[in-house]
Amino acid sequence: MIKQPSNHKPRSYRALALSALISTLLTFNVYAIDVAGVKVDDRIRVANTDLQLNGSGIRYAAAGLVRVYVLSLYLPQKRTTPVEIGALRGPKRIHINLLREINSNDFSKGLRDGMKNNLSQADQQKHFDGLLRLGNIFGQIPVLKKGETISVEQLPGTGTVILVNGKRVGEVFPDEGFFNALLQIWVGPKPIDESLKPVLLGTRESNDNTRRDENRF
């Protein structure tokens, strides 16, 4: 009697195949979205903690005519209000991809003005030294070029750090609250770009003004 070949695969083989399939799917899901030509990571890892994308959008200038940068907000869990984000424990990251060349002094001034517009007098005094140090950090970089990146990270037990192109610049800001103070520039009561705020908070999908399908927003 001739024994027919079996189509049954050993359980270990099926497990390996399933593992390979999952790995492949995860590989193809590295990027959540494309924002103005920038591939935005869906998930990142900061301080040995997995963070997820809360929102990513475009910062406009000149009444929406000029795209300045793509800003992405990463949190341990998704949140939809500034208060909830401020209360959230764990690492956080603001990540900026520059879409055009910017004078670093102008960029620094924009951050300082944004904080002043969104912080109370008491909070401005609290973070006064931080604001000066922030200006000094960017004052050492003549020009921020198109394609470069800037990150602000809140690290529990350490403080707030600034990175340019993935490398830390300047000293650590020991006050972890400085991160949330900076974040108010984009999600505070008077955000630097009204169209960007709801995208970062995850209540709107996109603020790409080249899109015509309003139902996708």
Per domain, the residue ranges of the chain are 33-208
Measured distance CA(128)–CA(132) in Å, rounded: 6
pLDDT given at position 140: 85
The CATH-assigned architecture of domain 33-208 is: 3-Layer(bba) Sandwich (3.50)
pLDDT given at position 213: 44
pLDDT given at position 7: 52
Closest CA to 94 of 176, 179, 165: 179
pLDDT given at position 216: 38
Count CB neighbours of 13 within 10 A.
10
Q: Which residue type does 214 have?
A: E
Predicted TM-score (pTM) of the model is 0.83
Positions in the chain short of pLDDT 70: 1-31, 211-217
Measured distance CA(181)–CA(176) in Å, rounded: 9
- Alpha-carbon Rg for the chain, nearest whole angstrom, is 21
